[in-house]
Amino acid sequence: MTAMTPEEAVRHVVATDPTFAVEEVEIRGVTFKAFRNIPGTVPALMAASRAKQGDGALDYLSYEGESLTFDEFRGHAHRIAHALRDDLGVRQGDRVAIAMRNYPELLTAIMAISSLGATVVFLNAWWTTEELDYALRDSGARIVFADRPRIDRLSPLKDGLGLTLIGCRDGEGQGDHDYRALYDAAASDAPPDVAIDTDDDFAVMYSSGTTGHPKGVVQTHRGAVNAVFSWLMQSVVAPLVTPPEPDAPEPPRPSVLVVTPLFHVTATHPVFLLSMPAGAKVTLMYRWDAAEAVRLIRDGNITRFLGVPTQSAELSEAARRMGETLPSLDYIGAGGAKRPAAQVAAIAETFPDAGVATGWGMTETQALGIGMIGDDYKARPDCAGKLHPPVQELRFLDDAGKDVPPGTLGEITVKSPANMRCYLNMPEATAETMQDGWLRTGDLGVIDEDGYVTILDRKKNIIIRGGENIACLDVEGALHRLPQVAEACAFSVPDERLGEIVGAVVQLRPDTSLTRDEMARALEGHLASFKIPALLWCQQEPLTRGATDKIDRRALRAACLKQMEETA
C-alpha cells in the first residue's frame, strides 16, 4: 500500500467510508459540518457499539477485580434508568447529578440518565459543600448519585435544596436510596422507550472557573457523538498514512486506563465515550498511583493512556524505576494542560513502542480540538498539533474579531457541532464566547503554513513588560528544562518602571536547590533576557492546584506577592 499524506487520507476516508461521510446541517440557525451516518445520541452510540464489543460478550469494564461484559454494563445502565423513571419520577429534560470518585457506578449512571433523555450534571468530587451548593442551585438537579464522602458534604444541603441522595459504594445506607437496591428492584434491563433529539442536552459539565463561580457548560448529544467519531476516524486514517508491514499481526484489542476524574471532559469523552465504538476495554483506578498504573498496564495489556502531563511524567519515572517498558502501550497522551517540551523525548525513550501524543480541547468543545502524535510531536514538542478533521473549522482572531495571517498571534476560535450549546444561566457570557457558531476559546496562539498550531497562553495570562508581551507558558517551558525544577508557574509582578515584570514559583526536586542567579544563567540562550523571571520563589511542596487539578496561577501569584510585601 502506498502511503498517503494525512490530508489525502482524510479525503479518502470521508469519500469512501459511509461511517465518516460529512454533510452540512443547521443547528440553532447556524450551518455546521457534521457526520451524516453516525448515531444521533449518546444512548444510541452505546447501542450501536454492541457489535464492536463482541456482540456484547467481551469484558468491558474492570475495577479492583470486578468485571462487567458490555451487555452487563448496558443492562446495569438500563435497569438504573427504569428505577430513576419508575421509582423516582425522572422525566425527559430533568437534570440528575453525579458526585463520586471513579467508580463503575459513575459510568452506568451517565448512561442511565442519558437513556431517559435527562441531562447528566457532573459535580466535581473535590468541591466543598459551598461549591456543591452553587452548582446544584445553578443546575436545578435534585437527585444526586454520590459516594460516602460526597454524601457527607451534601447532607447539609439536603433539606434546603430538597435533595434525593442515591448512595453508591461506601455511600450505601447513607442516603435516601441505595444504588444496589434500585438495581435489584428495577422492572427491566431493556432500553427505555424515549425519543431523544440529537440536539437535546446531554450534560452540564462545570469549567474550572478561575474567578468567581464555575460556568456550567451545556453539551448536546450531537456534539458528544461528533467529537467521538472525529477521534475514531483517526484510527482509520493512521494506517493509510503509515501502512503496516504486509506480514504485521492484527493489532490487539484497544484497552484504556482511566486515570483522570470522570467529572472532567478528558476522561468522559475521548476515553469513556470513545471506548464504546472503538471496541475498547475500560479499566478504572481507585486513585492515581504511578507504580500501580505501571502494574495495571503491564498485567492488563492496556494500550491507551491519557492523563494530565504530570501523570505521564510520573508513569515514565515509575516505569524506569521498575525496569518496565510497557510494550502493550501504543498511545500515551496528555490533556488538560500543556506537557512541558522537555518531557516529550524522555517519555518516548521510556516507552519505545508507544506513540507519545498531545492534545488540546476544552469542556466547551467536548474535548475536541487539536492534537498530534509520534514523530510529528517529537519534532515539534512545543506545538499543540493540527486541527482534528473533518467537522471542525479554525480561525485566529485579533481583539477586534478580525482574522490574522499565519504566524501572527491570535485567539484560537473554533466552529464545530461539538461546541457547547451555551453556558447555563449565563446569557452574557455565552454571547461573548459563542458568535455565529464560532467559539472564542480565550487561548492565544499561532498557526504556521502547514497547519501546525502553537498555543502560547491564555488570553489573560500575558505579562506585558515595558510593552513586550510575554507568554507565561513560554517562561514555564524554559523553567522545566532545569534539572532542579519539578513544576513551574509564571505570573506578572507589578513594577513601577516597566508596568509588569516576570515572577515565577517552582517546586524543586528532592535534595536540590536553586537561586534566582543560577536560574537566570541556566536560561540564557533559551529565553530572551526580558522573559527571564526577575523574581523567583522556590518550594519543596507541590504547587497549589485548582478544582480541575490545573496549577492555580492566581492563588500562587497572590501568595507570592503577599510574601514579597511582608518581606519588604
AA letter at 557:
R
For domain 461-567, give the CATH superfamily: ANL, C-terminal domain (3.30.300.30)
Whole-structure pTM over 0.85, yes or no? yes
Kindly give the pairing relationship between strand 370-373 and strand 355-360. Answer: antiparallel
pLDDT at 248: 86
Read off the pLDDT of residues 236-260 as tens digits, 9 standing for 90 and up. Answer: 999 999 999 888 888 999 999 999 9
Judge whether residue 178 has pLDDT over 80. Answer: yes
Read off the pLDDT of residues 83-117 as tens digits, 9 standing for 90 and up. Answer: 999 999 999 999 999 999 999 999 999 999 999 99
CATH class of 70-219: alpha beta
Read off the pLDDT of residues 227-237 as tens digits, 9 standing for 90 and up. Answer: 999 999 999 99
Q: What is the mean pLDDT of residues 18-38?
A: 98
Q: What is the mean pLDDT of residues 63-70?
A: 97
Residues of the chain with CATH 3.40.50.980: 70-219
C-alpha cell at position 101? 470518585
Q: What is the mean pLDDT of residues 434-454?
A: 95
Read off the pLDDT of residues 352-403 as tens digits, 9 standing for 90 and up. Answer: 999 999 999 999 999 999 999 999 999 999 999 999 999 999 999 998 999 9
Residue recorded with cell 497549589: 544
Average of per-residue pLDDT values in the chain: 94
- What is the number of H-type helices and E-type strands within the chain? 19, 29
pLDDT at 547: 67
AA letter at 556:
L
pLDDT at 336: 75
Three-state SS at 511? coil
pLDDT at 212: 58
Q: What percent of the chain has pLDDT over 70?
A: 98
Q: What is the mean pLDDT of residues 177-182?
A: 98
pLDDT at 519: 96
The strand ranges marked E within 380-484 are 386-387, 393-397, 410-415, 422-423, 434-435, 438-447, 453-458, 462-465, 468-471
Q: Which of 506, 504, 492 is nearest to 538 (CA)?
A: 506
Instruction: List, in order, residues 6 or more apart from 567 with CB less than 8 Å away.
Output: none
Q: What percent of the chain has pLDDT over 90?
A: 83
Angle at 352 between CA 347 and CA 356, to 5 degrees: 50
Judge whether residue 341 has pLDDT over 90. Answer: no
DSSP state of 268: I
Where residue 568 falls among pLDDT bands split at 50, 70, 90? confident
What secondary structure does DSSP assign to 91-110, as a single string? -TT-EEEEE-SS-HHHHHHH
pLDDT at 504: 97
Q: What is the mean pLDDT of residues 163-186?
A: 97
Residues of the chain with CATH 3.30.300.30: 461-567
Pick from 14-18, 43-47, 386-390, 442-446: least confident: 442-446
Judge whether residue 210 has pLDDT over 70. Answer: no
